[in-house]
A and B are shown apart, each in its own frame.
Chain A
Amino acid sequence: MITAKSKQRLLDVEKLSIAFGNVPIVKDISFGVDAGEILGVVGESGSGKSITCRSLLGLLPRAASVSGRIGFDGKNLLALSGEEMRAIRGRDISMVFQNPASHLDPLMTLGGHVMESLRHHFGQTRKEARQNAIDVLREVQINEPERRIDAYPHELSGGMKQRGMIGSATACRPRLLLADEPTTALDVTVQARILDLLGELNRTQGLSIVFVSHDLAVVAELCHRVVVMRNGEIVEEGPANEILRSPRHKYTKLLIDSQPSLLTLPPVAREEQAKTPLIEVDALSITYSKPGALPGTRKDVVRALQEANLTVEAGESLGIVGESGSGKSTVARAIMRLAEPSGGEIRFRGRNIAALKGTELSEYRRKVQMVFQNPFDSLNPRMRIIDAIAEPMIRHGLATRNEALGRARELMRQVELPLEFADRKPRQLSGGQCQRVGIARALALDPEVLIADEVTSALDVTIQAQILRLLQRLRSERHLTVIYISHDLSVVRKFCDRIAVFRAAKLVELGSAEAVFDRPKESYTKLLLQSAPRLERALERTGASDAGHGRD
């Protein structure tokens, strides 16, 4: 607290409450940001962190009622008129959003976004603004800014778009940057570079940052101080390394314990290993094509997978990791026979699955089941939970309707879903609960193989921990073989026996979890491991940087 007083307070939020109608979203919170400080705001979905962030810019929906005081530079932002607020927005306080793709105007060039704020706030001419915009783009580490300034968003990669957005937010040299989950939609290697960039802007320009995130490890890497939010309240606040090393509040402890790298999963009892692998993927290539210029012709557009070879042993859990577009989901779709191979084959117990027809195919579909990424989207919104779970058994003729409903209840119990949910529709459930329904539905056919495609990436970290424990228990109880696809290395490390690393449609490394993580052979695997934020490593570093930071 002594350090806080010696520095200049930039932002002072006092007793801020935000409500929609009668529903309070943010309850009487107070916090501050010093000049040159990075404040992390951590919380799970529904904790009010994004709404708080938006209120600082006066960008709340009209239905919101706000009380309290937001002090910035001696002014109360809540008392300012729309006109006055507009002068502050983008010039003194600016914001970077989660999804760069949807927050950039597709009809405006990258430079246009940067120039717009310069021209609006400083009245610069087109020529001046353009020259300045090139400098700004260079600062946010965009290569060849003279050329890229005229690029449209669709011509840029996700990381480049996010740099552009940071560029347009920092063009006017604001004193405070609000970053709402700015790296959540990005791949880990890109995320690492964006975090570096934010750290760099903080050091060189003295930019203060409010960094909103659900990811404790990311916050630990970047932030000086942390505010932990839950249900619209601040449960804990303090220096980042202190809070993360010795949390006082039990929710903060739960958050830290739920971090995949710190999670303890029960061991799995595996049956005797069989001689032949259960699934063999042999030189599998998949190419997506679209209709060519002439009718009846097709031209290849995307090579989603090139000559991948891997095997899955009965009872093991194989992790498939890679960044977006690496082909990791394509493998799963091919094994499910949802994508047609353009070369190579997949064998299940020695039989090429492409040759399966009729009852054999139906049999195969029963044995290999899949759980999907988006818990809300993977359930039919018009079907009751119990029907969604019972339907596979009825359609495959495994049970009469009454038997199926009975078994569905038993499955709900197994995935730890309260039976009261049986008659509800998916929208009445939370994401974690929907994901349990997805798992129960996949288990309804008593499969041997369960393919889990990013099943926890849409979930909060505490819920992710529950789902991982559930999957681990089901592995033991049902001797399930699991193919776990994820971009999150720490989850895969905890959960999987063997790991396959994919990059740009190719399998680059395959080996046991220990081998891949401790002695990676490929440079790409090493890069992935380096880029992934890890709480423990971040703590070591914050300890070091605090000492060097010279707080007095």
Chain B
Amino acid sequence: MISLSSASARRHFGPGAIEIAAGTAIILTWVVLAVAAPLFSGADPNGIDLIGLLQPPSADHFFGTDHLGRDVFSRVLHAARIDIWMGIAGVIPPLLIGATIGLISGYAGGVIDAVMMRMVDITVAFPFFVLVIAIVGMLGPGLYNYFVALALVGWVSYARLVRAEVLVLKNREFVTAAQALGYGPIVVMVRHILPNTFSSLLVFATTDAVLVLLAGASLGFLGLGVQPPTPEWGAMIADGQPYVVDAWWICFFPGLAATTLGFGFILTSDGLSRVLGR
């Protein structure tokens, strides 16, 4: 009878609604935890306590303390502020750049398309992380340089996605109809083609947010992301690495946090793709 009740729930909310609800609930929970971090944890995330180093989880320190005696629970919550921001804001510049390039490239075709797609090929020829690390290494560590690197590297997937959609859409009858009605190319592109790529863009962007989030954390792990002592999940895992045998909690809880937030994004993306019929 479980299948029946889930089937009736699906009929009420439509396919994908459950995934979206669960996914956004996870993301929103993290947003609330991040914004209201001081309410949940009285401890100063950067407060060093050299007497209480490497304490295991207890009633005083839910997630234990790290090698400088800082409260891991408080740091995980405060780090969420950075990591959520990284996941969401890191997606937007590449999306805007990529969608524009893909739209023009797909619609114009010919030489413009050939040139832009070769640029994409060149960018794709380097592994994503290697290129991001190289750019951040050149510009210097920090959150904003990370966004710049993402924009320079991440647009290619969006450009390819939108271009592929445009190539299909531009042969649809409603696009021919728009041309036959005498609309100019910009109107046809922006008003008639672009809105029809939004659903795949949205689905891809939510999936991409996970990648961006994890890439940010990895950069933090390598010391190229947010600089200490600002708490960030990746950097926290890096800090805990030497102690992982004796004090597993330093790495485990930031890792768990990143995983749950990523899972929230994935669920939302999966649900959206079902709702939008892709």
User: Quick one: closest B residue to A364, CB to CB?
Assistant: B182
The yes or no answer to A267 lying at the interface (CB within 8 A) is: no
Contact B181 A369 (CB under 8 A): yes
Question: Chain B residues with Cβ under 8 A from A441's Cβ?
Answer: 177, 181
User: How near does chain B come to A53, taking the closest CB pair, in angstroms?
Assistant: 26
User: How near does chain A come to B10, taking the closest CB pair, in angstroms?
Assistant: 10
User: How near does chain A come to B246, taking the closest CB pair, in angstroms?
Assistant: 53
The yes or no answer to A127 lying at the interface (CB within 8 A) is: no
Contact B183 A378 (CB under 8 A): no
Assembly CA distance A378 to B183 (angstroms): 15
Q: Which of A329-348 contact B (CB under 8 A)?
A: 336, 338
The yes or no answer to A48 lying at the interface (CB within 8 A) is: no
Chain A proximity mask over B184-201: 1 for CB below 8 Å, otherwise 0: 000100001001100000
Question: Chain A residues with Cβ under 8 A from B182's Cβ?
Answer: 361-362, 365-366, 392, 395-396
Contact A378 B177 (CB under 8 A): yes
Contact B181 A392 (CB under 8 A): yes
Contact B195 A369 (CB under 8 A): no
The yes or no answer to B29 lying at the interface (CB within 8 A) is: no
Select the stretch in A190-198, A214-222, A268-276, A379-387 that faces chain B: A379-387
Contact A365 B181 (CB under 8 A): yes
With A395-B183, A395-B187 as given contacts, are A380 and B178 in contact (CB-CB < 8 Å)?
yes
With A377-B174, A378-B173, A378-B174 as given contacts, are A365 and B196 in contact (CB-CB < 8 Å)?
no
User: How near does chain A come to B54, taking the closest CB pair, in angstroms?
Assistant: 55
Assembly CA distance A441 to B183 (angstroms): 13
Query: Contacting A381 at CB < 8 Å: which of B176, B180, B181, B196?
Result: B196
Q: Which of B5-28 contact A (CB under 8 A)?
A: 11
Query: Contacting B176 at CB < 8 Å: which of A365, A372, A382, A445?
Result: A372
User: How near does chain B come to A365, taking the closest CB pair, in angstroms?
Assistant: 3
User: Quick one: closest A residue to B193, CB to CB?
Assistant: A380
Contact B177 A372 (CB under 8 A): yes
User: How near does chain A come to B35, taking the closest CB pair, in angstroms?
Assistant: 34
User: How near does chain A come to B6, taking the closest CB pair, in angstroms?
Assistant: 13
Q: Which of A375-430 contact B (CB under 8 A)?
A: 377-382, 391-392, 395-396
Q: Which of B151-184 contact A (CB under 8 A)?
A: 172-174, 176-183
User: How near does chain A come to B189, taking the closest CB pair, in angstroms?
Assistant: 12
Question: Chain A residues with Cβ under 8 A from B196's Cβ?
Answer: 380-382
The yes or no answer to A438 lying at the interface (CB within 8 A) is: yes
Contact A338 B176 (CB under 8 A): yes
Contact A338 B179 (CB under 8 A): yes
The yes or no answer to A266 lying at the interface (CB within 8 A) is: no
The yes or no answer to A21 lying at the interface (CB within 8 A) is: yes
Contact B173 A374 (CB under 8 A): yes
With A365-B181, A392-B181 as given contacts, are A380 and B176 in contact (CB-CB < 8 Å)?
no
With A21-B11, A377-B172, A380-B196 as given contacts, are A336 and B180 in contact (CB-CB < 8 Å)?
yes
The yes or no answer to A480 lying at the interface (CB within 8 A) is: no
Question: Chain A residues with Cβ under 8 A from B181's Cβ?
Answer: 365, 369, 391-392, 395, 441, 445
Contact A373 B173 (CB under 8 A): yes
Give the interface SS of chain B, mostly helix, strand, loop or mixed: helix
User: How near does chain B come to A49, taking the closest CB pair, in angstroms?
Assistant: 26
The size of the chain B interface, using a CB distance under 8 A, is 16
Assembly CA distance A362 to B179 (angstroms): 11
The yes or no answer to A133 lying at the interface (CB within 8 A) is: no
Question: Chain A residues with Cβ under 8 A from B178's Cβ?
Answer: 380
Question: Chain A residues with Cβ under 8 A from B177's Cβ?
Answer: 370, 372, 378-379, 438, 441
Question: Chain A residues with Cβ under 8 A from B179's Cβ?
Answer: 338
Contact A380 B174 (CB under 8 A): yes
User: Quick one: closest B residue to A295, CB to CB?
Assistant: B114
Q: Which of A490-524 contact B (CB under 8 A)?
A: none
Question: Chain A residues with Cβ under 8 A from B187's Cβ?
Answer: 395
Question: Chain A residues with Cβ under 8 A from B173's Cβ?
Answer: 372-374, 377-378
Q: In this complex, which of B173, B176, B179, B195 has the most chain A Cβ atoms within 10 angstroms of its Cβ?
A: B173
Assembly CA distance A478 to B182 (angstroms): 21
Question: Chain A residues with Cβ under 8 A from B11's Cβ?
Answer: 21
Assembly CA distance A362 to B178 (angstroms): 13
User: Quick one: closest B residue to A379, CB to CB?
Assistant: B174
Assembly CA distance A379 to B195 (angstroms): 13
Question: Chain B residues with Cβ under 8 A from A382's Cβ?
Answer: 195-196
Assembly CA distance A366 to B180 (angstroms): 9
Assembly CA distance A396 to B172 (angstroms): 22
User: How near does chain A come to B197, taking the closest CB pair, in angstroms?
Assistant: 10
Question: Chain B residues with Cβ under 8 A from A374's Cβ?
Answer: 173
Contact B180 A370 (CB under 8 A): yes
User: Quick one: closest B residue to A378, CB to CB?
Assistant: B173
Contact B180 A380 (CB under 8 A): no
User: Quick one: closest A residue to B7, CB to CB?
Assistant: A21
Question: Chain B residues with Cβ under 8 A from A336's Cβ?
Answer: 180
User: Quick one: closest B residue to A392, CB to CB?
Assistant: B181
Question: Chain A residues with Cβ under 8 A from B172's Cβ?
Answer: 377
User: Quick one: closest B residue to A444, CB to CB?
Assistant: B181
Assembly CA distance A351 to B251 (angstroms): 78
Assembly CA distance A379 to B177 (angstroms): 8
Question: Chain A residues with Cβ under 8 A from B195's Cβ?
Answer: 380, 382
Assembly CA distance A362 to B183 (angstroms): 9
User: Quick one: closest B residue to A451, CB to CB?
Assistant: B180
Contact A365 B192 (CB under 8 A): no
Question: Chain B residues with Cβ under 8 A from A391's Cβ?
Answer: 181
Chain A proximity mask over B126-140: 1 for CB below 8 Å, otherwise 0: 000000000000000
Assembly CA distance A252 to B11 (angstroms): 36
User: How near does chain A come to B278, taking the closest CB pair, in angstroms?
Assistant: 13
Chain B proximity mask over A133-176: 1 for CB below 8 Å, otherwise 0: 00000000000000000000000000000000000000000000
User: How near does chain B come to A447, taking the closest CB pair, in angstroms?
Assistant: 10
Contact A365 B180 (CB under 8 A): yes
Assembly CA distance A445 to B181 (angstroms): 9
Assembly CA distance A369 to B180 (angstroms): 7
User: How near does chain B come to A385, taking the closest CB pair, in angstroms?
Assistant: 13
Question: Chain B residues with Cβ under 8 A from A377's Cβ?
Answer: 172-174
Assembly CA distance A361 to B196 (angstroms): 28
Question: Chain B residues with Cβ under 8 A from A362's Cβ?
Answer: 182
Q: Which of A22-63 contact B (CB under 8 A)?
A: none
Assembly CA distance A513 to B235 (angstroms): 81
User: How near does chain A come to B162, taking the closest CB pair, in angstroms?
Assistant: 15
User: Quick one: closest B residue to A363, CB to CB?
Assistant: B182
Q: In this complex, which of B172, B179, B182, B192 has the most chain A Cβ atoms within 10 angstroms of its Cβ?
A: B182
Question: Chain B residues with Cβ under 8 A from A338's Cβ?
Answer: 176, 179-180
Residues of B within 8 A of A (CB): 11, 172-174, 176-183, 187, 192, 195-196
The 5 A-B pairs with the shortest beta carbon distances in the complex, nearest first, are A365-B182, A378-B173, A377-B173, A382-B195, A372-B173
Residues of A within 8 A of B (CB): 21, 336, 338, 361-362, 365-366, 369-370, 372-374, 377-382, 391-392, 395-396, 438, 441, 445
14 contacts between A and B (CB under 8 A): A338-B180, A362-B182, A365-B181, A365-B182, A370-B180, A372-B173, A378-B174, A382-B195, A392-B181, A392-B182, A395-B187, A438-B177, A441-B177, A441-B181
16 extra interchain contacts, Cβ-Cβ under 8 A, other than A378-B177, A395-B187, A438-B177?
A336-B180, A361-B182, A365-B180, A366-B182, A369-B181, A377-B174, A378-B173, A379-B177, A380-B174, A380-B192, A391-B181, A392-B182, A395-B182, A441-B177, A441-B181, A445-B181
